[in-house]
Amino acid sequence: MNILEKITQNKSAFSKSERKVADIILANPQTAIHSSIATLAKMSDVSEPTVNRFCRRLDTKGFPDFKLHLAQSLANGTPYVNRHVEEHDGPDEYTKKIFESTMASLEVARQSIDINIVNRVVDLLTQAQKISFFGLGASASVAHDALNKFFRFNVPVVYFEDILMQRMSCMNSCEDDVVVLISHTGRTKSLVEIAQIARANDATVVGITSKNSPLSRECNLVLSLEVPEDTDMYMPMASRIAQLTLIDILATGFTLRRGGKFRENLKRVKDTLRGSRFEKRTDN
Amino acid sequence: MNILEKITQNKSAFSKSERKVADIILANPQTAIHSSIATLAKMSDVSEPTVNRFCRRLDTKGFPDFKLHLAQSLANGTPYVNRHVEEHDGPDEYTKKIFESTMASLEVARQSIDINIVNRVVDLLTQAQKISFFGLGASASVAHDALNKFFRFNVPVVYFEDILMQRMSCMNSCEDDVVVLISHTGRTKSLVEIAQIARANDATVVGITSKNSPLSRECNLVLSLEVPEDTDMYMPMASRIAQLTLIDILATGFTLRRGGKFRENLKRVKDTLRGSRFEKRTDN
DNA sequence: ACACCAAATGTAGTAATTTTACAACTTTTT
DNA sequence: AAAAAGTTGTAAAATTACTACATTTGGTGT
């Protein structure tokens, strides 16, 4: 995707003159996007068609199209080509990289989401008698967060960390209940079992998990998030952020569906917290 | 900076025909950057010079320059100008808006972070005898997530939801303990009290909270995150994502500080989970 | 070492695109 | 109601990018 990355990668496949062009562009990409093909050719000390051929080699339609791609790469705030954290990275580098990769993952997640399913899940949630959120490990905190959000809506909402409690809760579920199961991989055995139990008791099971996973096959509805996880760190990071954002979306859809008066009620819930807080000074 | 925002802002200052152009571009910016001035003029049902004049009114050098700016704005992940969810928004709109506002908030958060403090906090954490993560309400799930991450590092790590448990834990803390307190507003009374208790017992208190808040004044180190929160929804959304990303950064810094061997250990922790999961089919 | 072939590069002309200059039309003001 | 200011479109000019072809370069086999 990123064209600057592409240039450095393919550099070896370029010809001598094309490499001249590549060097000039990499050295000063900001100037490149504001130059015509003629000036760029002169700067690189090659002919204009060479610049054009260079652009095509990078799978762009031509020079103007190349400039567009380049402009986008520069805009992303991704001067750093590699978003993966490396051994020798200092705090400034890994901070930058983690922010950038998180944002990039959100972008990917956004594109992978099926709006129709979002809508249907919101439908289900608004009509539910009881809503349960279950997840294990890293996804437990996501379920925890969902509890916090939906609790404000004054609907019966359930969350357990303990798998036995989760099972018991699902055994007692009935037709108008919705069980939301969260798992990045969708391979956690006990969650799959819980999905089965919930369905056996006529509850509707919604999975926030990956497509074609064992868990997804047990769900009535699957909100799949295809998030590239940086496996170097051996920790779920981006996937969990995407799940949380999805929770935000469901919660938002929920409040919108309930209408304006409902939102006023939310405000009251928030105001209730005031007693537990220090007042904000009004002099700033 | 962002040209799409600029268009909607200046929309009232435009002439009738220019507004036609603005509408077409706002409706389909992705198409606009790949069109010539002629096709865009035809789509907007105006003449080519009108499009050109439109571009100049937005302080660009001309149509190609305008396309460059537009491309950059789109790359930034900010196609829709208004990121605030509104009453009448459909699922596609609020989904898009929430993703975009979340990403935008991360960008703001990134810029507000003080790398030096990140580095010092990582220092503290690597040297800590015991690490505690406490938060209440929406921040509880962030603390919960931090527990999940740091637990993998094989360091004594503590997390409680219950404020009495939090207090007791802090009373028993000693010099080499680090207490991380998470609160978006920094005005939650009991958390401020916990900070005081922890400090009285010689623990180092790190706050993930906003600058100049009551909580921040009680901390030894403050990682301040200035995140614009969309208060219309009366729910913490973006702030919490930023906090989680910060936790990711601290965890990453922690593993990097500990070196390569430590990371192998992490892999083993992850592998241990395998027994509780369904195997991934290898045929895809 | 020379001839030959293929790949690479440049030249010059062509096509597409954008911009300018000016004329016609609309709207507003007096 | 006429003039002025502002807006929009037409057509030509200028810029810019692209194509076809010619030349050069570098490598390979005899």
Confirm whether any atom of chain C, the nucleic acid strand, is less than 7 Å from CB of B15.
no
In a shared domain, residues A118 and A63: no
In a shared domain, residues A172 and A265: yes
Q: Is A271 on the interface with B (CB under 8 A)?
A: no
Domain end residue (candidates: B21, B49, B75): B75
In a shared domain, residues A21 and A161: no
A204-209 vs A157-159, strand pairing mode: unpaired
Question: Given this model, what pLDDT does residue B124 score?
Answer: 92
Residue in this structure with the two tokens 């004049």, named with its chain if needed: B53
In a shared domain, residues A207 and A150: yes
Between A168 and B236, where is the model more confident?
A168
In a shared domain, residues B123 and B35: no
CB atoms within 10 A of CB A46: 21
Q: Which domain holds residue B19?
A: 3-75
Question: Given this model, what pLDDT does residue B84 score?
Answer: 75
In a shared domain, residues B168 and B46: no
pLDDT at B168 over 60: yes
Q: Check: CB of residue B225 under 8 Å from CB of residue B243.
A: yes
Helical packing angle, A91-112 and B238-258, nearest 10°:
130
CA distance A135 to A143: 6
CA distance A228 to A242: 11
Q: Is A263 on the interface with B (CB under 8 A)?
A: yes
In a shared domain, residues A71 and A119: no
pLDDT at B80 over 90: no
In a shared domain, residues A146 and A266: yes
User: Å between A61 CA and C15 C1'?
Assistant: 16
Could you tell me if residue B85 is inside a domain?
no
Q: How many domains does chain A have?
A: 2
- Beta strand segments in chain B, E: 130-135, 157-159, 177-182, 204-209, 221-224
In a shared domain, residues B34 and B161: no
> In degrees rounded to 5, what are phi and psi of residue A159?
-150, 130
Between B284 and B95, where is the model more confident?
B95
pLDDT in tens, chain A (284 residues): 678 878 887 777 788 888 888 888 888 888 888 998 988 888 888 988 998 998 888 888 888 999 988 888 877 554 444 567 777 888 988 998 888 888 888 888 888 899 999 999 999 999 999 999 999 988 999 999 999 989 888 889 999 999 999 999 999 998 999 999 999 888 889 999 999 999 999 999 999 998 889 999 999 999 998 777 665 555 677 888 999 999 999 999 998 888 666 666 666 666 776 667 777 654 43
Question: Given this model, what pLDDT does residue A155 score?
Answer: 87
Could you tell me if residue B94 is inside a domain?
no
Per-residue DSSP letter, B31: H
Amino acid at position B214, single letter: P
Averaged pLDDT, B37-55: 89
Question: Given this model, what pLDDT does residue B214 score?
Answer: 92
Could you tell me if residue A256 is inside a domain?
yes
In a shared domain, residues B196 and B60: no
Q: Check: CB of residue A31 under 8 Å from CB of residue A104.
A: no
Strand order in the sheet with A157-159: A157-159, A130-135, A177-182, A204-209, A221-224
Six-digit token string for A210: 């990956």
Output the domain CATH number for residue B69: 1.10.10.10
CB atoms within 10 A of CB B164: 9
Could you tell me if residue B80 is inside a domain?
no
Confirm whether any atom of chain C, the nucleic acid strand, is less than 7 Å from CB of A15.
yes
Residue B204 bridge partners (DSSP): B178
**Cβ within 8 Å, pair A94-B255:** no
Band (pLDDT 50/70/90 cuts) for residue B44 is confident
Could you tell me if residue A36 is inside a domain?
yes
Report pLDDT digits (tens) over B175-193: 999 999 999 888 889 999 9
**CA-wise closest residue to A143 among A209, A96, A56, A73:** A209
Domain end residue (candidates: A47, A75, A103): A75
Report pLDDT digits (tens) over B96-155: 888 888 888 888 888 889 999 999 999 999 999 999 999 998 899 999 999 998 988 888
Band (pLDDT 50/70/90 cuts) for residue B263 is low
In a shared domain, residues B187 and B257: yes
**Cβ within 8 Å, pair A34-B244:** no
Domain end residue (candidates: A50, A75, A100): A75
Could you tell me if residue A88 is inside a domain?
no
Cα dihedral sign, A143-A146-A147-A148: positive
A144 CB neighbours in chain B (<8 A) are 140-141, 144
Closest residue in chain A to residue B188, using alpha carbons only: A277
B130-135 vs B177-182, strand pairing mode: parallel
Residue in this structure with the two tokens 């909402």, named with its chain if needed: A157
Could you tell me if residue B99 is inside a domain?
no
Residue A207 bridge partners (DSSP): A181, A222
Could you tell me if residue A99 is inside a domain?
no
Q: Which residues 162-181 of chain B have a CB within 8 Å of chain A?
A: none
CB atoms within 10 A of CB B43: 18
Output the domain CATH number for residue A262: 3.40.50.10490
Band (pLDDT 50/70/90 cuts) for residue B195 is very high
Q: B11-15, B22-26, B181-185: which has the minimum mean pLDDT?
A: B11-15
A96 CB neighbours in chain B (<8 A) are 110
Residue A132 bridge partners (DSSP): A158, A179
CB atoms within 10 A of CB B80: 15
In a shared domain, residues A11 and A62: yes
Of B89, B118, B240, the CB nearest to A145: B240
